Structures are given as structure tokens and as C-alpha cells.
Amino acid sequence: MLQDLVELSDQEEQDPAEDQVHSRPKRNRKPPIWMSDYDVSVYCDVKDALEGAVRHTMASPHAHLQKLDEHFLDNSFVEGERLSRGDFLLHQVLASAPATFRERPNILRWFRHISTHPRELADALPDTGVAFEELKLQVELWSQQQSDRKVKLTWEPSRDQVWEHKSRMIRHNLKEVLGEDRMEDILKEGRGLRIYWGTATTGRIHIGYFVPMAKIADYLKAGCEVTILFADLHAYLDNMKAPWELLKLRARYYEVIIKTIMLSLGISIDRLKFVLGSDYQLSKEYTLDVYRLSSIITQHDAKKAGAEVVKQVDHPLLSGLLYPGLQALDEEHLHVDAQFGGVDQRKIFTFAEKYLPQLGYTKRIHLMSPLVPGLSGGKMSASEEDSKIDLLDPPHVVKRKIKKAFCEPKNITDNGLLSIVEYVIFPLCCPPKGGLLVSLDSGKKTKTYTSVRDLESDFAAGDVHPGELKDMVEHYLNILLVPIRAAFTSADKRDLVNRAYPKTYKGGVDELKPWRLDLCVGTIEKAEHHPDSSGYLILHLNDGSLDRRVGVVPQDSFTEFKDLLGRPVILLRNIAPTKTLGIQVTALILYAQNNKVEIER
């Protein structure tokens, strides 16, 4: 592991005076009591190596930092898999000179993780048994030397070069931009683009959210002003994906976890503006605009605009038709130049470009990022458990979901895992001047990929097996998820998640209450023999609604087939539509009258 640090240090020559400076009493090598299940030999190796790094890190600490980076490749913390006070001490040391480890991906990942923990937590943790005073001194010396070597630039970029650079950064990794000319006009003025990204607070957040978070980081680097909207009312309007009584809790969950993602990626949330939709969408001005907009929108355009976003059902609620209009109005009432979203939002974006000018408002710019496909194909959705990886999924659940993911050998066109590599892992895990490791031939060899296209090429050629790709995805996703899981180990955050998303139990464990049954009296309108299963009847039922319901029953349930028409039955209507013997059943027949009678509704 890090034992090479000690060997490297032993080879260096030091004068006696320097030995006296670095001499210290010999420390107890016995692991702490709280580490009773920890491997003693590994603990001692790590401790010796870290102390060696501290003693012998001189004006150029890069060789030793490389060894430290290798340590964090296999370990989450200074002392393996357990957080200790040493993590905070080392974090404090390295924070004074971040340039020393900027291109050390594993140290950088560890540093971002420790940054998410409050400094007060260190006092409650066990001591590490490793001192970092000399390391701090040498890092400061190195930082000062680098500062002394800096020379003043005699060349400055032109105004055109500045806005062109910002434009490239904004467009980086986007799928499409609507209104690029307007965007460039704003950048030429020298001011930052005002952008908003909104998310409806519905299901639990999954790894697909890393894509917009990475782009928001690009926008901030380009000098943009970014607003993040937690659209709680939209979540309710979209077929009530978020119950009214849970709106505030889910909005709070979204705020906490998105801020955690930002911090884990090293993005400063001080430069972001967070807005809750219901804080302004219930105002007089916004409500008036809703009425004005509804007076010029056709039902066809509203339904078409939400086709990719709003849940589609046979009989849509009016609330779902309001959804696109409200999202369009957000652009005006948040006072932004552009809206950012996934390519699934394109129809809503073009809808906004058509209707906002009719209200006298400016047409906005629209920035679209790619979508991460689900593990089972199609869009990664928070409402489909098997298609997504939750940000709080433990490692064994991540492994199980990835192992079950569809990944056909040599298929690079319909491969959700390769999309995760392209849009999540490479942008967030690949160092600027490095690559990502893939273990091949059952771990006998490894290969470094600096481009996702090279990985795709090898996968298409069969040089990378689906199992090897899955192992790579699992490894790097867990690296991204470690700091987020750690941040949600506190009791208050666990309680927030449990309250925002109460557990629903399958298999009839939930209490059955009579008022939940939708019972009604109906009549048999038509009866026919099942075409494929003798002994069964298909009954078409009239329950007084516009749509006729269908049931399948054994023929021996009725003594006489000839006189079924008009016979009264008691129906259970609120059952999930399901197929019985190949027939779509929409009602369950609980009771049938023997004789034909008139039913008064």
C-alpha cells in the first residue's frame, strides 16, 4: 500500500541537524480499541507510511503525494474504512495549498468528501496516532516557492476571446442549444448569462442528476448566474406524483441532497441561488399570468408540450395540461436569460418560445443536456426502481442493480452503462491529464482509457467484456456516492428521507380499510365464450360510467349462460388493470344476481 513511502524516504540522505529536527518519541503501534476488527498489519503499514510521508516530505512533495493518492485509491479514509481525527488534520494541512493535489484524483475525491463534514465532528472521533505538523510546514514552503516563481503576464486575452471561451464552456457536452445567437449577444456585452434549472420534487434523486450538476459547474466557471428551482407545485400537478401533505418534506429533501451533491463535486453553493416554486407561484402576478396564458393555449398544444415530461394517462387531469404553461412562465418570473434542462424538455422549451412573446415577454434561450438512459433501457426515471441507482443506495444494492443491467456484448448503440460512463463517470472521475482504469482478463491486467470513444471501440470489438464494463461502472459510481452516503448518516437526514418517502409495503402487509374499496352495482351488457380457454366467459359490464368494464369468470359460476344479459352484479372497480388469460380485466365481479331484475341507479 503506502509502505513504498517509507522505502522511498529511507533512500534519501539527510544531515544530522535535519534528523534532530524531525526526531520524535516512538509512538505506540497498537491499533485503537475501537478498531478491534481492523487488520493489525494493514493498520501498522498505513501508520508507518503516513508518518514517513510526514517526516520526509520536503520542498517538492509530489513523489510522496503520489503514494498518498495510491492509498486513497483503495481506502476511503486515512486509516482505511473508518473516519478518524487524522482525516481532518490532513485536510487542514492540504487545504493551505490545493494546487499540490489538483491532479491527484483520489486525494481530490477524499478532500471533497471530508469537506462535507462539519469541523466540530473531529472532536468526537478517535485520534489517528499520526502527526502532520512537518507535512503542513513543507506544504506551506512548497506553496510559497511556487508563488515566488510566478511571473506577471504581459499578455491578456481580448474581449472576443473571453466571450468565445465562455460560450464554448456553456455549450460543452450539451445536446442542443436554442437561441445561440441571443446567448452570444449577451456574452459579448460582458455580463454573465442568467440561467435557471428546475426540478420537480417527485421521486428520490438518482445518478442521472450528476449530469445537470456537472453542467451547472461549467456555467459557474463561465461566470453565469445560476438559479436552482425546486418545483414543488409542478410535482403535485404532474398526476399528483408528490402528495400535497409531502410537498414541503420532499422539497426540503431535494434541497439538502442537491447541496450535498454540489459540495461532493467541489462546487461552491455560495454562488448558487435556490428558489422554492410555491414561494412565488402563488403570487397575484404569477396567477394572473396563468389565466392570461390559459386563454391563448390550445388543449392540443398543452398536451403535446408535456408529452415527454408529464405522466401520460388515458384520461389526463387538467393539472397536467397546466404544467407546461407554468414552466414557461417560470422563465419570466425568475428573470433569467436561459432555461437549462434535459432533451426530454424540448417540447416544453419550444412551447415557451411560441407563447411567451404572445404575452409580451422575451423569448428565452434554451440549453439541453443529454439524458442518462435507465439500466433496463429507456429514460432513467425516479419512479422505476430497477431503472435507476439511488444516490443513497448502499454498495451491495449498486452491485445488484448493475449486474442486472442490460449490457449486450459488442452493442454500443443500446447500452445504458456506456452512457453512464460517457455522461457521468468520465466528466466527474477522469483527471484532466489522466484516464480511467478498466480491469481486464479477470483482473490479470488493466488498461487506462483517456477517452470514452476508445472504450466504446474496445467494447464493440469485444476486447472489453460486459462483466468488465459493469465492474468499472460499479467502482467509479461508488467513488462518487461515498461522500453523499456519508453525509446522510446523521439521524436528522435519515429522518427527513423516511418522512419524505414513507415506506410502502408489498404483499398485503398494508392495512385493508373498507372505504378504500370502490364497489358498485352494474349489469352484464354482453357475454361471450373465451376464444382460447374453454370453460371461461368474458363479461362486458355496465357500471354507469362512459367506459365499459371487462371481467373474466369461470362458466360454472353461472348455471345458465343463455340469460346473462341484464343480470345485476356487484363490481370492485379500483383494481390495477391486469391480463387474465390474455384478456385485459378492469373489474372484479364479487357477486351476481340469479334472476334478472331492474337496477335503479
Distance from C-alpha of 437 to C-alpha of 428, rounded to nearest angstrom: 14
- pLDDT of 387: 72
- pLDDT of 11: 42
- Domain assignment present for residue 175? The answer is yes
- Domain assignment present for residue 380? The answer is no
Q: What is the pLDDT of residues 191-231, one digit of tens each?
A: 899 999 999 998 899 999 999 998 998 999 888 999 999 99
Please state, as a whole number, how many other Cβ atoms lie within 10 Å of the Cβ of residue 439. 15
Q: Which of 409, 433, 584 is nearest to 103 (CA)?
A: 433
Q: What is the CATH number of the domain that holds 527?
A: 2.40.50.140
Note whether 459 and 571 are same-domain residues. Answer: no
0.85 surpassed by pTM: no
Q: What is the pLDDT of residues 18-55, one digit of tens each?
A: 444 344 444 444 444 433 343 344 444 444 545 444 44
Note whether 271 and 332 are same-domain residues. Answer: yes
Mean pLDDT of 573-583: 79
- pLDDT of 367: 97
DSSP H or E segment with residue 288 = helix 284-294
Q: Which has more confidence, 499 or 27?
A: 499
Note whether 297 and 338 are same-domain residues. Answer: yes
Q: Reply yes or no on whether the pLDDT at 142 is more than 70.
A: no
CA angle 328, 332, 337 (to 5 degrees): 100
Share of the chain above pLDDT 70, in %: 73
Q: What is the pLDDT of residues 364-418, one digit of tens each?
A: 999 999 988 878 665 565 556 667 899 999 999 999 999 988 888 999 888 889 9
Note whether 420 and 310 are same-domain residues. Answer: no
Q: Reply yes or no on whether the pLDDT at 149 is more than 70.
A: no
- pLDDT of 4: 42
- Domain assignment present for residue 376? The answer is no
DSSP H or E segment with residue 4 = helix 3-10
Note whether 138 and 164 are same-domain residues. Answer: no
- Domain assignment present for residue 286? The answer is yes
- Domain assignment present for residue 505? The answer is no
Note whether 454 and 572 are same-domain residues. Answer: no
Q: Reply yes or no on whether the pLDDT at 329 is more than 90.
A: yes
Note whether 65 and 172 are same-domain residues. Answer: no
Q: How far is CA 535 from the centre of its chain?
A: 51
Note whether 163 and 16 are same-domain residues. Answer: no
Q: Which of 11-15, 433-437, 475-479, 567-571 has the highest mean pLDDT?
A: 475-479
Q: Which has more confidence, 126 or 574?
A: 574
Q: Which three cell numbers stand for residue 424?
A: 457521468
Distance from C-alpha of 290 to C-alpha of 301, rounded to nearest angstrom: 15
Find the domain containing 483 and state its range.
397-492
- pLDDT of 6: 37
Mean pLDDT for all residues in the chain: 78
In this structure, are residues 565 and 595 in contact, taking their beta carbons and an 8 Å threshold? no
Banded model confidence at residue 104, pLDDT cuts 50, 70, 90? confident
> Looking at 369, 386, 421, which one is the last position of a domain?
369
Distance from C-alpha of 588 to C-alpha of 571, rounded to nearest angstrom: 6
Q: Which has more confidence, 147 or 521?
A: 521
- pLDDT of 598: 47
Residue ranges in 150-246 assigned as alpha helix (H): 159-171, 180-188, 210-221, 232-237
In this structure, are residues 317 and 236 in contact, taking their beta carbons and an 8 Å threshold? no
- pLDDT of 477: 93
Distance from C-alpha of 521 to C-alpha of 592, rounded to nearest angstrom: 10
Q: What is the pLDDT of residues 259-275, one digit of tens each?
A: 999 888 888 888 799 99
> Looking at 149, 177, 209, which one is the last position of a domain?
149
Which residue carries 397575484 as its cell?
284
Note whether 263 and 365 are same-domain residues. Answer: yes
- Domain assignment present for residue 600? The answer is no
| Angstrom distances, CA of residue 450 to CA of 206, 350, 419, 432 | 26, 37, 16, 9
Banded model confidence at residue 468, pLDDT cuts 50, 70, 90? very high
Mean pLDDT of 411-430: 89
- Domain assignment present for residue 269? The answer is yes
Please state, as a whole number, how many other Cβ atoms lie within 10 Å of the Cβ of residue 564. 19
Q: What is the pLDDT of residues 535-544, one digit of tens each?
A: 788 888 888 7
Lateral strand order in the sheet of 549-554: 549-554, 536-542, 519-529, 568-572, 588-592
- Domain assignment present for residue 384? The answer is no
Q: What is the pLDDT of residues 565-576, one digit of tens each?
A: 888 888 888 887
> Looking at 492, 524, 545, which one is the last position of a domain?
492
Lowest mean pLDDT among 40-49, 420-429, 486-495: 40-49
Residue 303 in 3-state DSSP? Answer: helix
SS3 content of the chain, % helix, strand, coil (to 5): 50, 15, 35
Q: What is the CATH number of the domain that holds 298?
A: 3.40.50.620
Residue 542 in 3-state DSSP? Answer: strand
In this structure, are residues 368 and 339 in contact, taking their beta carbons and an 8 Å threshold? no
CA angle 88, 90, 95 (to 5 degrees): 90
Note whether 285 and 195 are same-domain residues. Answer: yes
- pLDDT of 254: 93
Number of domains into which the chain is organized:
4
The DSSP code sequence of 119-173 is GGGGGGSPP-S---HHHHHHHHHHHHHHHHH----S----HHHHHHHHHHHHHTT
Provide φ and ψ at 583, rounded to 5°.
-110, 135
Note whether 173 and 238 are same-domain residues. Answer: yes
Amino acid at 38: Y
Note whether 92 and 67 are same-domain residues. Answer: yes
Q: Reply yes or no on whether the pLDDT at 12 is more than 60.
A: no
Mean pLDDT of 312-339: 87
Q: What is the CATH number of the domain that holds 453?
A: 1.10.240.10
